[in-house]
Amino acid sequence: MFIEIIAVFAVLALVAAKLMAAEDTGVTVPTNCIYAGGADPEYIYLVADAAITPGDNVEPGAAASGVKACDASAEEFIGTADKNDNAVLDGNDPMTHDWAAGEVVPVITGACLVRKISEGGVASGKIVRPGTTAGTSCLVDATSTAKYTIGRSVSADVATASPFVMRQW
């Protein structure tokens, strides 16, 4: 009788352990954040030349302390615009509420994981560059020199206009 009770508890323990086992889902980024992890990113604070959407690839603006959304060339990419936490005070979503011209934008710089939007689909492991339009979109770099790349996709393959995680450099 005692052995049967121990056997029942052992089976229950095995079932509980299986239910609690972690599942590897790969690198994910919650939809309410841009910075996904890795080394702690550095921030620089610059003044928006024009509207900048959180998550945009950004480059220097007209003034010395200015910033604007990247164009497709990306030769001056400096980082990713962080979410607009000031929007919460207005009752708006900090992930979609643009920084207006003249506002101070926190720019995530350096090597870390950030969330981007694919242009034309991005396969896992591919080196990416800013998309053909200003903003947060990125596309696979097809040049032989990789001169203006800004990171590498660490997500599973995604279709166009889908979010993916990029290791920014």
Residue with tokens 């920014």: 168
Sequence spans of domains, the chain: 27-168
pLDDT of residue 98: 93
pLDDT score recorded for residue 87? 83
pLDDT, position 47: 96
Per residue of the chain (169 residues), what is the pLDDT tens digit?
A: 667 777 666 676 666 666 665 555 556 666 667 876 656 678 999 999 999 999 999 999 988 899 999 887 667 899 999 989 888 888 888 888 999 999 999 999 988 889 899 998 999 999 999 988 767 789 999 887 888 899 999 988 999 999 899 999 8
The 10s digit of each residue's pLDDT in 12-46 is: 666 666 666 555 555 666 666 787 665 667 899 99
Give, for 5, the enclosing helix (H) or strand (E): helix 2-20
pLDDT recorded at residue 103: 94
pLDDT digits (tens, 9 = 90+) for 2-11: 677 776 666 7
Name residue 140's beta-bridge partners.
128
